[in-house]
Structure formats: structure tokens, C-alpha cells
Chains A and B, each alone.
Chain A
Amino acid sequence: SQELEQSPQSLIVQEGKNLTINCTSSKTLYGLYWYKQKYGEGLIFLMMLQKGGEEKSHEKITAKLDEKKQQSSLHITASQPSHAGIYLCGAMNTGFQKLVFGTGTRLLVSP
């Protein structure tokens, strides 16, 4: 079965600093999703990547899917306290019925 490993597991950065979160898959990725979860709340969709080499940006968050389609990175530029939360990557399983999720990266942004 497909597994997603995220690194780092947790991260504390100073406000204004850049950061990167990685998501590595044990199998080829067919659709990679990034979600953000605020503590104690539901998941908020950030971005979806489908093609190798694809890169998408929304405000200060950029996500990339590498050419070999087994790894994705999420980069936040000039972090703000509002970026704090748990970032989860999810990928479609090969049967396209469900999302398999990574264990998440907890981000804290200190003022």
C-alpha cells in the first residue's frame, strides 16, 4: 500500500522566515493534495498537483511536484502567525478511490 512520509514532523520558525515541508511517497503519485488543518478544526484545501514538474502558488505558499512524481514540497515565504497549523499531504491511491494521507507537519510561527 502507498505510504506518505512528511518531513519535518514539526517546525518552529520565526515570523518572516521562509520554510519548506516535504512529502515523499513510496509509490508514484497520481494527484498530490496539500491541506492545512488549524488546531482542533477541519481540513482546508490548499493546492492540488497532478503533473510531474507542476508548481502552483497561492499567496505566499508554493507547492511543487517533482518530475519523477514521488515527492512534493510546500514552501512558505515570509511566514506569518496565520500560517501556523498542521500541514497534511494526501495522494490518490492507485485505484483512485481514496486519499492516503501523510502524518502531517506541525508548524508554529513565533512572533
Chain B
Amino acid sequence: NAGVTQTPKFRILKIGQSMTLQCTQDMNHNYMYWYRQDPGMGLKLIYYSVGAGITDKGEVPNGYNVSRSTTEDFPLRLELAAPSQTSVYFCASSLAGGPDYEQFFGPGTRLTVL
């Protein structure tokens, strides 16, 4: 199993540009998550999904959109990039929700908005 994979690994955007961060998991996990990690800070949840077709907002959803058309994929869309979105983005998945289930993380995407 590849686990959780993310593409691209690095990206530089200009203000106002759009892009999609890709996330795929091959563990047949129901739950998937997008986090962002700012320098010196912990991770904050952007969006999460409890299954195909179901998504919900996390702590910091503004400026982002997600979709979950399949169990495997959970892309994150930035429509109008802003410098405040410069961060490292992590995708994660878990078999189910709750404290019994470990979240598996992807390697991250480093995004810089200039």
C-alpha cells in the first residue's frame, strides 16, 4: 500500500491564481482530512469528509473548497490564492472517526503564495 499520497510536493502561486491539491489513499478509509500547518504552529483542520459525497468544514475553511466523489480521492481547491494561504498542507485518512482510529498522514504540499 502506498498509504496517503499528495501532489504536488511544492508549488508557488501568484496572488489570485487557483490550484488543486491532490490527495489519494489506497487503504479504503472512510474518513479523510485536510490540515494546514503554519510555521511554529500546530496543524489546523480545514475540511474533512466522513465518506464519499459527504464533506464538512473544519476550523479554517475560508478560501478553500473540497469534494469527495470517490472513497480514494479528496482534492482541496484554492480559488483565489492569497499570501495568508502560504503554508504546508497535509492530507490524512482514517478508517473511521473517533479516538480508536489512527490518522495516517501524507507527506505534505508546501505552498507559497507571492
Contact = CB atoms under 8 A, between A and B. Distances in A.
Nearest to A96: B98
Q: How large is the interface on B (under 10, 10 to 19, 20 to 34, 35 or more residues)?
A: 20 to 34
B27 to A, nearest CB: 13
A70 to B, nearest CB: 15
A103 B42 contact: yes
A88 B43 CA distance: 9
A85 interface: no
Contact of B40 (A30, A31, A103): A103
Interface residues of A, number: 24
B99 A92 contact: yes
A74 to B, nearest CB: 15
Contacts of B99: 30-31, 48, 50, 92, 96
Interface string A10-44: 00000000000000000000110101000011111
A95 to B, nearest CB: 9
Contacts of B98: 31, 92, 96
Q: Which 3 A-B pairs have the closest CB atoms?
A: A31-B99, A101-B42, A43-B105
